[in-house]
Chain A
C-alpha cells in the first residue's frame, strides 16, 4: 500500500486487533443484553427434543475437536442439558475426529453429575468410529452387532439397561449431530430415509448456510446455527449460560467489522480522489 494514500488505508493492523480484543473483553465483562430472535430452525430442534418419547433412545453424534469447540461445545452442552432435564435416555457416538469422543464424554459427565444421570442406565458412550459410512449402514440393520461394546467399560451393549429395546435406527426418537464438517450428507444419504427419528444438525456457522436446502426439503428437521443457535436454544430453555453472555461480543465484533469495512472503503475512495486531483 502506498504511503501517500489516505490515512485510513494506513492504519497499523495491531490497532485493529487491539480494538477487536477490547470489544470482546468488554462485551464479556459488561453484561449488555441485546435482543435475540429465535429462528424457526432452532425452534424445530428444540421441539424435536421436547416432544421425544421417553421409551426411545436419543442418539447424540459428535464430530468436533478443540479447534471448533467455541461453537460446537456450547451447542452440545445445551442439548445434553435439555435431554437430562427431560430425563431422556441417550447414547453418544463420535466420528471423524479422534478428540470428539473424549470431549463429548467430558461434557456428558459434567452434566450427568448435576442431573444425577447414571452411566449405563440413563446414558452410554458408544465410542469413536473412523468409518462413517460403514458404521451408519451397520446401524441401520443392527446397532449392537455393529458397535458391539461401549467405550468406557468395553462391555457388550446388550448388558446395559439404557440399550434395552434398541435394535436399530428405527428405535431412535432423535438423531442430533454436532459437527464441524459436512457429515450430514452421510446421515441424510444412509440413515434418514430408514427411520422416523428426527434428524437435527448443529454445525459451525461456516457450514450452516449450505444446510438450508436440507431444512427446506425436510431432510433435516432442525438446526442450531453455530454459537447463535446455541444462544437461541438457551433462551428457549430459559437458561443464561456461556452463549447468552458470548452472543453480545459476537454482535459487537460484527458491528466493529462493519465500521472498519466502511472506513477502509472510504479510505480507498479518498485515495483515488486524491490521486485524481494531483
Chain B
C-alpha cells in the first residue's frame, strides 16, 4: 500500500489542481477539457476498483489460499461464480439460476435478520410517556418534566399524523382523518426541507474542500 508521502507529492498536487479547475470549468460552459478530465476521473476510479479488488480481496482471500497454500476447495467458489456467466448462453442459462437463487436466499435471510434488529427497537422506543415523572429525567440533562412531556407529545402527534397519511386502505373522507393526513403531509414536507438544507450544506462543504485544496496545497496562500 502506498504511503502518505506518495499522495502529497507535488506532481500529485498539480494533477489534482488541474483536474479540479478542469471540472469546475463546466460552471462556465460545457467544454472539451471538462469532458477529458471527466473521462480520466471515471477511468481512474474504475481502474482503482479493479486493482483494489485484486490486491485486497481476490488475491489474498482466494488466489493465495488456492495456489500457494494448496487449499483446493477454493476452486469450487470460482466454479460457482462462473455459473453467473452462463446467462449469456441460451442453452446453459438455466445454470445461472442456481447461483442467482443461492444469492437471493442469502440476501433474503440477511434482510429478515436486519429488519428485525433495525425496526423493533425503534417501534419500542416510539411508545413514549406523555406524563413524565421526575425519575424519568436523564441525569445531568437539565430537562424538566414539562419539557420532556411536551417533546413526547409532539413526537406522538407527528408520528400519528404521518402514519395516517400513509394509510391507504380506505378513502380518507372522515374530516378528522383527512385533517390528520394533511398535517402528516405537511410534517413530511418539513422533513424533506431539512434533508434539502443538509444536501446544500454537503455540497458547500465539497466546494470549500476543493477551494481550500487550491489555496492551501497548490498555491500555498494560507
Quick one: closest B residue to A152, CB to CB?
B1
**Contact partner of B27 among A14, A71, A149, A245, CB < 8 A?**
A14
A101, B52: Cβ atoms closer than 8 Å: yes
B206, A68: Cβ atoms closer than 8 Å: yes
Contacts known (A98-B53, A257-B200); A70 close to B210, Cβ less than 8 A: yes
Contacts known (A25-B215, A190-B113, A208-B198); A226 close to B205, Cβ less than 8 A: yes
Within 8 A of A (CB), among B1-52: 1-4, 7, 27-28, 45, 48-49, 51-52
Quick one: closest B residue to A66, CB to CB?
B45
A219, B121: Cβ atoms closer than 8 Å: yes
A154, B60: Cβ atoms closer than 8 Å: yes
CB distance from A145 to the nearest CB of B (A): 12
Q: Does chain B have a CB within 8 A of A161?
A: no
Quick one: closest A residue to B64, CB to CB?
A154
A17, B27: Cβ atoms closer than 8 Å: yes
Bound-state CA distance A69–B4 (Å) is 16
**Contact partner of A24 among B2, B118, B208, CB < 8 A?**
B208
Bound-state CA distance A21–B113 (Å) is 47
A residues in contact with B169, CB < 8 Å: none
Q: Does chain A have a CB within 8 A of B87?
A: no
Within 8 A of B (CB), among A94-136: 98-99, 101-102, 105-107, 109-110, 113, 125, 127-130, 133
A residues in contact with B4, CB < 8 Å: 105-107, 109-110, 113
Contacts known (A218-B121, A246-B208); A204 close to B202, Cβ less than 8 A: yes
CB distance from B77 to the nearest CB of A (A): 12
Bound-state CA distance A71–B51 (Å) is 26
Quick one: closest A residue to B201, CB to CB?
A205
Q: Does chain B have a CB within 8 A of A217?
A: yes
Quick one: closest A residue to B3, CB to CB?
A109
A228, B201: Cβ atoms closer than 8 Å: yes
B205, A246: Cβ atoms closer than 8 Å: yes
Q: Does chain B have a CB within 8 A of A254?
A: yes
Interface residues on A, range: 35 or more
Within 8 A of B (CB), among A138-165: 148-149, 151-152, 154
Contacts known (A17-B27, A98-B49); A250 close to B206, Cβ less than 8 A: no
B residues in contact with A17, CB < 8 Å: 27
Q: Does chain B have a CB within 8 A of A85?
A: no
Q: Interface digits, A251-278 against B, CB 8 Å rule (1 contact, 0 not)?
A: 0011001000000000000000000000
CB distance from A17 to the nearest CB of B (A): 5
Quick one: closest B residue to A108, CB to CB?
B4
**Contact partner of B125 among A25, A109, A216, A242, CB < 8 A?**
A216
CB distance from B153 to the nearest CB of A (A): 15
CB distance from A207 to the nearest CB of B (A): 8
CB distance from A15 to the nearest CB of B (A): 12
Q: Does chain B have a CB within 8 A of A7?
A: no
Q: Does chain B have a CB within 8 A of A63?
A: no
Q: Does chain B have a CB within 8 A of A249?
A: yes
What are the 10 A-B residue pairs with the smallest beta carbon separation, nearest first? Answer: A189-B114, A70-B209, A98-B52, A205-B202, A70-B206, A227-B205, A217-B125, A109-B4, A128-B56, A205-B198
Q: Which residues in A have some Cβ–Cβ distance to B below 8 Å? A: 14, 17, 20-21, 24-25, 27-29, 65, 67-71, 73, 98-99, 101-102, 105-107, 109-110, 113, 125, 127-130, 133, 148-149, 151-152, 154, 185-186, 188-190, 192-193, 204-206, 208-210, 213-214, 216-219, 225-228, 242, 245-246, 249-250, 253-254, 257
Q: Which residues in B have some Cβ–Cβ distance to A below 8 Å? A: 1-4, 7, 27-28, 45, 48-49, 51-53, 56-57, 60-61, 110, 113-115, 117-118, 121-122, 124-125, 191, 194-195, 197-202, 204-212, 215, 221-222
Q: Told that A133-B110, A190-B114 touch, could you supply 5 new A-B pairs with CB distance under 8 A?
A: A99-B45, A130-B53, A188-B118, A208-B198, A242-B212
